[in-house]
Amino acid sequence: MKLILFDCDGTLVDSQHVIVAAMGRAFARAELAVPPREAVLGIVGLSLVEAMQRLGEDDPRFPAERLADLYREAFRELRTEPDFSEPMFPGMRGLIDTLSARDDVLLGIATGKSQRGVAAVLGHHGLEGRFVTIQTADDAPSKPHPAMVLQAMAATGTEPVDTVLIGDTSFDMVMARAAGARAIGVSWGYHAPDLLQQSGAEWLVSDADELLRAIDHAWEPVA
């Protein structure tokens, strides 16, 4: 059995607008200068406190914990607003449907989101029950630590050689390779393609059809 792990933000769903908006509210409420959009998107995928520490340039005086709490509060508020949206990227719903119908693979998620956040995304898109293991920032150290991938493999009884992680950030690629898994980078997310390759992506894909081919190629016998 093969295990296919997906990152969430920037890979399955495009949540950049709500992430940037929530970050803006959090920093404003803390009476701090709001970081540039590029800086915010650059830390997507990390757990919240780790992300805030990076935005604070690891200054020990920076209120990372408080900002993480303010961000959670702002995100919950935004989720109740009528224009809230975390759309799936083109082709990804069909890809999940295709993979879910196969009997040779298991699907999982490894994300910096919380379990509550993942549940909201899956519920919104009608994807409950598709993923047999969901590893989040609630359950493991922040990416790029390999714990999420290692825990997913342990939960499903799969080996590194039979596991592939699909993500859009350098954190995903480093995490996958540190766990001994294969790494596929998607170009539609929040880190530049060349950074994904430098961080260990074995394949870089630009759409869902190409991703499906890369997944199958990952387990082709080596000649």
202, 172 in Cβ contact below 8 A? no
Active-site option among 7, 14, 162, 168:
7
- C-alpha 151/C-alpha 42 separation (Å) is 25
Encode 62-83: b = buried (16+ Cβ within 10 Å), e = exposed.
Answer: bebeebbbbbbebbeebeeeee
Tell me whether residue 9 is one of the annotated catalytic residues. yes
Helices 48-55 & 64-79, crossing angle to 10 degrees? 120
Concerning whether 216 is annotated as a catalytic residue, the answer is no
Hey, which residues are catalytic here? 7, 9
